[in-house]
């Protein structure tokens, strides 16, 4: 695996790899890699012969009172994991200027109305920061394929909309959620929780499953949502939101909506916010 830390190193490596046949797949991450991230690489390998992973803790997507400085960083371990997965290139910029050069005007992207709903309502400006850095990575790397996880459902929908407009040549893949044995969706922020808290967190997935089953049994949506919120509170999980949307995240108010849809939930436990969803 070739490790690049500057734009110059990145460009030289990409130029050399461009002479090899096959497609280039990008997996953007903020590091602290777990099996969920590694599953993105496995999926990418089915569609491309050259894999590049980026590790960059993006300051633009953290709010004033969020955890940018304490966000878990595990560079040495991450590098070992990527080598084991036979990743070809790692771009781990030595500083923010290798991504957002001070000689360039950063094009800040607007995530629109959807970017201020659901997680965006709790984290104002978060998705603007996500889209801005992903757009920049797309410009720097120009991959054929990019892979994003389904756990961050709203994020991958917004990135898909952005890419369709600004980078139509890039194919986006959505990778399935990877879960621990108790059903908790894998996340870097799970590191903040004790074993007992992780057991409590499993109730978010149970709540999503119960809600899907209830909807399929044609119970009233308002009743399902009320029951879900009551269940989460009873398990000491404070709901930030729990909603049903269609697969493009438009609001669903019908009791018997037939198209693809998704229950999404966000809860807080011990000042740590966890998200999860089930599409059906």
Enclosing H/E stretch for 104: none
* 21: its two tokens: 């046949």
**How far apart are the C-alpha atoms of 137 and 161, rounded to whole Å?**
16
Contact 274, 239 (CB under 8 A): no
E-state strands within 230-270: 238-246, 261-269
Q: Which position among 34, 37, 126, 167 bears the catalytic label?
A: 37
The pairs formed by 10-13 with CB atoms below 8 angstroms and a separation of 24 or more are 10/89, 10/91, 10/98, 10/140, 10/141, 13/89
How far is CA 243 from its chain centroid?
18
* 159: its two tokens: 């990135």
**Residue 103 is a catalytic residue:** no
Contact 235, 269 (CB under 8 A): no
Contact 6, 93 (CB under 8 A): yes
Spatial neighbors of 177 by CB under 8 A, at least 6 apart, are: 36, 149, 150, 151, 185, 186, 276, 277
Neighbours of 129 (CB within 10 A): 20
DSSP three-state, residue 18? helix
How far is CA 82 from its chain centroid?
18
Specify the pairing of strand 89-91 against strand 238-246: unpaired
Enclosing H/E stretch for 48: none
Active-site residue list: 37
């Amino acid at each position: 695996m070739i490790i690049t830390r500057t734009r110059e190193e990145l460009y030289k490596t990409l130029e050399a790899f461009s002479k090899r046949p096959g497609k280039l797949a990008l997996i953007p991450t903020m590091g602290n890699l777990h099996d969920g991230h590694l599953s993105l690489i496995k999926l990418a390998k089915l569609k491309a012969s050259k894999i590049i992973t980026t590790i960059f803790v993006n300051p633009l997507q953290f709010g004033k009172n969020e955890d940018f400085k304490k966000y878990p960083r595990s560079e040495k371990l991450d590098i070992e994991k990527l080598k084991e997965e036979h990743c070809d290139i790692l771009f781990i910029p030595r500083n923010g200027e290798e991504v957002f050069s001070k000689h360039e005007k950063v094009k800040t992207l607007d995530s629109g109305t959807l970017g201020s709903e659901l997680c965006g309502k709790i984290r104002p400006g978060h998705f603007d920061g996500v889209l801005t850095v992903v757009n920049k990575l797309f410009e720097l790397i120009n991959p054929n394929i990019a892979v994003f996880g389904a756990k961050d459902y709203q994020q991958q929908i917004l990135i898909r909309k952005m890419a369709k407009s600004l980078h139509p040549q890039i194919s986006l893949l959505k990778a399935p959620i990877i879960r621990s044995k108790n059903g908790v969706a894998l996340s870097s922020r799970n590191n903040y929780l004790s074993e007992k808290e992780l057991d409590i967190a499993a109730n978010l997935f149970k709540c999503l499953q119960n809600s899907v089953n209830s909807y399929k049994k044609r119970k009233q949506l308002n009743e399902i949502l009320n029951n879900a919120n009551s269940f989460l509170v009873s398990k000491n999980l404070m709901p930030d939101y729990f909603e049903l949307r269609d697969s493009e995240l438009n609001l669903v108010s019908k009791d018997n909506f037939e198209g693809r849809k998704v229950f999404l939930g966000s809860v807080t436990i011990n000042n740590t916010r966890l998200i999860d969803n089930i599409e059906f």
